[in-house]
Structure 1
C-alpha cells in the first residue's frame, strides 16, 4: 500500500493512504494546484522538491498557514491579498 505524506491543519506532517490534491512550498508558505506552471518550472530547475509539501484540500492548507498561489489560483490569491490589505 502506498502511503503519502501530507501536511495537516496544524502544519504537522501525517501519513495518508490518499494522495494530496494540492501542493505547496514550505519556505514560501504557499499552496496551489499540482499542475501549477510556476511550481513545475521550479521543480524542473531543481532544489524546490526539498521544500515541497502536499495538502488534502484547500481548507487544510489555509489552516496550516499557507496562502494561495498567484499563478495557478489567481482569483483566490486576489481575495487573500485584498483581505490582507483590509486588515491593515
Structure 2
C-alpha cells in the first residue's frame, strides 16, 4: 500500500487501487482498470493500493471518473 510518506508494505490489504503514473485511484473492481489490465494497456508495475480514499487523496491521487463518478465530479468542481 502507499502511505502519505511514500511506499510501504502492509499486512492489511488495500481497499482501493491506483496508478502511480496517472495519480488516479479507484475501486479494485473498476471495469475500466480491469479492461486496461487485461489488454496490456495498464502496466501492473504502476499499480498501487490504498487503505482508503483519505490516504489516496493525501498522496495526491484523484478519484477515477469511471468507478467513482460522484467523487470525481466533486474533485473536478473543487479543482
Q: TM-score, normalised by structure 2?
A: 0.94
Question: 1:41 and 1:25 mapped to 2: Cα distance?
Answer: 14
Question: Which sections of structure 1, spanning at least 5 residues, go unmatched?
Answer: 1-5
How many residue pairs match? The answer is 78
Q: TM-score, normalised by structure 1?
A: 0.85
Q: Which runs of 4+ in 1 moved over 3 A?
A: none
Larger radius of gyration: 1
Cross-structure match for 1:54: 49
Question: Which sections of structure 2, spanning at least 5 residues, go unmatched?
Answer: none
Cα root mean square deviation, aligned: 0.8
Of 20, 27, 30, the match for 1:26: 20
